[in-house]
Amino acid sequence: MLDIRPIAPGHLLLLPRKHSEDLWLLPEKEYARLLGTARKLAPALRRATKAKRIGLVVEGFGVAHVHVHLVPVNHAGELNPTLAKAATPASLKALQRRLAPRFRRLA
């Protein structure tokens, strides 16, 4: 899903189906599925956003549920949560329209 407070346009969140507050406590299949999905989405996200790289952050503090952030970045220091800003519904919808066709091909 698109993050409503993205660090950069295209910032995605991935959540495992099984609840866990700690990545290392996820069952091995859930862990592999979560990171495998991130690996599949990252190249399409990079092409769609024209970013040099896709940064990955695993978190579970702000919300007590493991989640992975995929963030388009171009330079050092851009994978910084203090850069996050609220997205407008219109900007999220436009981004969704741009990303959806690329991600459908991965399914």
Higher pLDDT, 60 or 96: 96
- SS3 category, 67: strand
Question: Given this model, what pLDDT does residue 107 score?
Answer: 59
Question: Given this model, what pLDDT does residue 18 score?
Answer: 84
What's the whole-model pTM score?
Answer: 0.89
How many Cβ atoms sit within 10 Å of the Cβ of residue 9?
Answer: 17
CATH of segment(s) 12-104: 3.30.428.10
Structure-token match 């295209």, residue found: 10
pLDDT of 26 above 80: yes
Higher pLDDT, 102 or 97: 97
* Predicted confidence (pLDDT) per residue in 50-84, tens digit: 999 999 998 767 777 889 999 999 999 999 999 99
